[in-house]
């Protein structure tokens, strides 16, 4: 069996008595890229911070890189590269100065060599004297990744690393991530982009603190049992809201000039669509479910963890 870089069970974090991460199980194999998907407020960042030792779980146990996430939190921090959602380096320092500062924090024996290696690895050598505050989003992203890699971690935890950068910078970033994975580095990366999810080896979808789906792209789509219909034609956008309340419909979402209607009960959805066929000239055809269809449907069925009081393990059921 392939060794696990991340292996946690019943991981839970409570705020004001409510579970923002609710007894989740998460396993990621060494050398794999695992996409961590979910809407804002779903618990992704809280989970990542517990994995790298920045937050202590209220319940649960497990390991990162073979180290206990509670007992060995300090040791985990030295072997993990954590890239936050927002750029967290000093904007009034140059690229080299920022990397040298991070190398000092990790007490690296040969800082100059480590900084030179990081600059070369991320294509930053020619810009090393440029102030970080003058960099574009894509170059800041490269600098942040270089800082994550300077101590040669075995696990990367990347929290929405491509938010706000242009498509080319995103593609270049993902090429770098795959190169790192080919060298045996494990990557857990949170993202909102479906095209990025498709580039991951495995996917985990979390909403309201609970994991709703996991597996490869193909496995998640097949297990969903979701049937999708595409509707095109004049005035199609006006159908978005009415169709959401039709029996059997789990989700309705706009895709360019079309809308996708998804459900698991084909008979009920076909009944709703048959009335449209009789009353309109819209083109309605069954389509292939994609990841976005599945995830929109999952979130539509998920229970909001702030809609009612969530019991902790110390309360009666």
pLDDT at 312: 43
- CA dist 169 and 286 (Å) reads 35
pLDDT in tens, 232-291: 988 888 888 888 889 999 989 888 888 999 999 999 999 989 888 887 788 999 999 989
Continuous segment of H or E residues that includes residue 22? strand 18-29
Query: What pLDDT band is residue 88 in, cutting at 50, 70 and 90?
Result: confident
What number of other Cβ atoms are within 10 A of residue 248's Cβ? Answer: 18
Domains identified in the chain and CATH numbers: 4-220 (3.40.50.300), 227-288 (3.30.70.100)
List CB contacts of 148: < 8 A, sequence separation 6 or more: 81, 82, 83, 156, 158
Whether residue 189 contacts residue 178, with contact meaning beta carbons closer than 8 Å, is answered with no
Q: Determine what percent of the chain is predicted with pLDDT higher than 70.
A: 95
pLDDT at 1: 57
pLDDT in tens, 164-200: 788 888 888 899 999 999 999 999 999 888 889 999 9
Per-residue DSSP letter, 138: H
- CA dist 179 and 189 (Å) reads 15
List CB contacts of 173: < 8 A, sequence separation 6 or more: 138, 141, 142, 145, 161, 162, 165
User: What is the pLDDT averaged over residues 287-296?
Assistant: 89
pTM of the model: 0.87
- Residue holding tokens 């407020």? 41
pLDDT at 263: 92
- CA dist 251 and 263 (Å) reads 7
pLDDT at 281: 82
pLDDT in tens, 42-69: 899 999 999 998 999 999 999 999 999 9
Strand order in the sheet with 251-255: 251-255, 258-263, 227-232, 283-287
Burial of residue 41, with CB atoms counted within 10 A of its CB: 0-12 exposed, 13-18 middle, 19 or more buried: middle
Query: What pLDDT band is residue 305 in, cutting at 50, 70 and 90?
Result: low
- CA dist 45 and 191 (Å) reads 11
- CA dist 150 and 137 (Å) reads 20
The pairing of beta strand 4-15 with beta strand 18-29:
antiparallel
* Residue 236, CA distances (Å) to 133, 199, 253 in order: 45, 32, 11
């Amino acid at each position: 069996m392939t060794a696990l870089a991340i292996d946690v069970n019943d991981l839970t974090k409570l705020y004001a008595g409510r579970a923002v991460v609710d007894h989740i199980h998460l396993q990621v194999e060494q050398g794999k890229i695992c996409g961590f998907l979910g809407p804002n407020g779903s618990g992704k960042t809280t989970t990542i911070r517990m994995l790298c030792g920045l937050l202590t779980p209220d319940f649960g146990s497990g390991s990162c890189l073979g180290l206990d996430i509670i007992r060995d939190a300090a040791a985990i921090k030295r072997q993990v590269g954590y890239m936050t959602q927002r750029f967290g380096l000093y904007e009034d320092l140059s690229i080299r100065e920022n990397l040298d500062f991070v190398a000092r924090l990790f007490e690296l024996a040969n800082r100059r060599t480590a900084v030179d290696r990081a600059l070369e690895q991320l294509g930053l050598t020619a810009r090393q004297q440029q102030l970080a505050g003058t960099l574009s989003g894509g170059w800041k992203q490269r600098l942040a990744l270089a800082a994550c890699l300077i101590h040669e971690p075995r696990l990367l935890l990347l929290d929405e690393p491509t938010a706000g950068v242009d498509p080319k910078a995103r593609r270049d970033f993902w090429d770098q991530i795959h190169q790192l994975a080919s060298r045996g580095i494990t990557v857990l990366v949170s993202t909102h982009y479906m095209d990025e999810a498709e580039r991951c080896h495995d996917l985990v979808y979390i909403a309201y603190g609970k994991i709703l789906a996991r597996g490869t792209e193909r496995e998640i789509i097949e297990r969903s049992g979701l049937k999708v219909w595409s509707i095109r034609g004049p005035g199609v956008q006006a159908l978005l809201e009415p169709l959401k309340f039709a029996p059997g419909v789990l989700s309705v979402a706009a895709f360019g000039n079309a809308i996708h209607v998804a459900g698991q009960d084909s008979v009920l959805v076909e009944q709703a669509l048959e009335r449209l066929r009789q009353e309109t000239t819209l083109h309605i055809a069954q389509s292939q479910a994609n990841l976005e269809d599945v995830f929109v449907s999952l979130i539509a069925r998920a229970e909001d963890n702030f809609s009612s009081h969530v019991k902790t393990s110390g309360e009666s059921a």
